[in-house]
Amino acid sequence: MNDFSRRRLLKATAVAGAGAIVVPGAAAAEAPGASAVTEASVGEAHGAKCPPAKLTGRIVRPNDPGYTDARLGWDQLFSHYPLVIVFAQNTQDVVNALTWARQNDVALRIRSGRHSLEGWSNVDSGLVIDISELKSVHIDSAARVATVGSGLNQLEAVTTLAKHNFAVTTGTEGSVGLAGATLGGGFGFLTRWLGMACDSLIGAEVVVAEGDECAKVIKVDRNHNSDLLWALRGAGNGNFGIVTSLTYKVAPLKSVTYVTATWDGIGELRRVFDAWQRTAPYADNRLGTQLEVHRNQTLLFAVLAEGTPAEAKKLLAPILSVDSPKVSMQVGNWGEVYSGFQIPTEDEPANWKFYSQFTRKPFPGKAIDVISSFMKDAPTDDSNFFTQAFGGAVRKSPRGGTAFPHRDALFYSEPGVGWGTRSDQPGICDPLTPQAQAWIAEFSQALRPYVDGAYVNVPNIGMQDWETAYWGSNLGRLRNIKAKYDPHNVFQYDQSIPPASRWD
User: d(Cα 191, Cα 170) in Å, to the nearest integer?
Assistant: 8
Q: What is the pLDDT of residues 140-183, one digit of tens each?
A: 999 999 999 999 999 999 999 999 999 999 999 999 999 999 99
pLDDT the model gives residue 430: 86
Kindly provide the residue ranges of all beta strands, DSSP E only, lying in 161-239, ordered along the sequence.
166-167, 201-210, 214-221
Strand 58-60 versus strand 145-149 pairing type: unpaired
**Do 209 and 215 contact (CB within 8 A), yes or no?**
yes
- Percent of the chain residues past pLDDT 70, beyond the cut: 89
Alpha-helical segments (H) within 377-474: 433-447, 466-471
**C-alpha of 319 from chain center:** 28
Alpha-helical segments (H) within 215-346: 226-235, 269-277, 309-315, 317-320, 334-340
CA atoms within 13 A on the CB side of 417: 24
Strand order in 58-60's β-sheet? 58-60, 84-87, 127-130, 108-111
Q: What is the pLDDT of residues 62-106, one digit of tens each?
A: 999 999 999 999 999 999 999 999 999 999 999 999 999 999 999
Coil, strand or helix at 201: strand
Alpha-helical segments (H) within 13-165: 67-71, 91-103, 154-162
> Which domains are assigned to the chain?
58-130 (3.30.43.10), 137-252+475-485 (3.30.465.10), 255-467 (3.40.462.20)
Coil, strand or helix at 494: coil
Q: What is the pLDDT of residues 439-457, one digit of tens each?
A: 999 999 999 999 999 999 9
37 pLDDT higher than 50:
no
The H or E element spanning position 292 is strand 287-293
Would you place residue 488 in the very low, low, confident or very high pLDDT band (cuts 50, 70, 90)? very high
**Is the dihedral angle over the CA atoms 358, 363, 369, 370 positive or is it negative?**
negative
Amino acid at 229: L
Among the residue ranges 9-18, 80-89, 253-262, 412-421, the one predicted with the least confidence is 9-18
42 pLDDT higher than 80:
no
The Cα angle at residue 358 between residues 306 and 9, in degrees rounded to 5: 60
